[in-house]
Amino acid sequence: MTYVDFVTRLHTASKRNYVERVTSHDKAQCAEIARQWGRDYWDGERQYGYGGYRYDGRWRAVAEDMARHYGLKAGDRILDVGCGKAFLLYEFTQVVPGIVVAGIDISAYGIEHAKEEVRPFLKVAGADALPFADASFDFVFSINTLHNLQNFELFAALREIERVGKDGRAHITIESYRNEREKANLLYWQLTCESFYRPAEWEWMFAQAGYRGDYACIYFE
């Protein structure tokens, strides 16, 4: 298992007012609405989630870096666990012509409003019960999804990623914290997070579940 970061540059490009997040609206109510994973979360007001999640090409560089790092090629089958509107999957089809993509997400709204070109390859499903056969994919990835699971769901999801992938070829990015400031900021900002762990705790979780792939964390500095 190796620490490989593909997403921090996108994460840090957004400016966040952490204190305002908990003072300008009823944070608990916003979180309850966000966890319905519907229109409010994706395309509603900012206090409920993304504030409008639209394709803008920002994920192209991530697809390029991941394809290069893992040597992805035409004919390879890849799976995005927690694909949302599948912008990253679409970028993979552009970066690696001939790649075979699949994605799952718990949000029916996200799937219904996903990038049209890859929508036929998406399914509504949970990360803890992937609807695919063993060793179905050459590469499996999950970006900013698994921290939204409770610990027992998380263990199941990690085992599922191992089951449907081949030879531990996988990558996971999750939210984490390294100090009390980052912990407070994460608590202030998050709407859907269920698993709050430091990097060493995430590594322990991965080992206990038998996950052999790579990982990275995003931090709220």
Every domain of the chain and the residues it spans: 8-218
Which pLDDT score, from 0 to 100, does residue 167 have?
94
Which pLDDT score, from 0 to 100, does residue 176 have?
98
- Does the global pTM surpass 0.85? yes
Task: Provide the residue count of the chain.
Answer: 221
Which pLDDT score, from 0 to 100, does residue 27 have?
96
Which pLDDT score, from 0 to 100, does residue 68 have?
98
pLDDT per residue rounded down to tens, the chain (221 residues): 899 999 999 999 989 999 999 999 999 999 999 999 999 999 999 999 999 999 999 999 999 999 999 999 999 999 999 999 999 999 999 999 999 999 999 999 999 999 999 999 999 999 999 999 999 999 999 999 999 999 999 999 999 999 999 999 999 999 999 999 999 999 999 999 999 999 999 999 999 999 999 999 999 99
Which pLDDT score, from 0 to 100, does residue 6 have?
98
Contact between residue 99 and residue 72 where contact means Cβ atoms under 8 Å apart? yes
Q: Which of 110, 151, 160 is nearest to 133 (CA)?
A: 160
Which pLDDT score, from 0 to 100, does residue 18 have?
96
- CA–CA dist 29, 195 (Å, integer): 19
Q: Can you read off the two tokens belonging to residue 49?
A: 């989630």
- CA–CA dist 30, 18 (Å, integer): 15
The DSSP element (H or E) to which 47 belongs, if any, is: none
Which pLDDT score, from 0 to 100, does residue 94 have?
98
In this structure, whether the domain defined by 8-218 belongs to CATH 3.40.50.150 is answered with yes
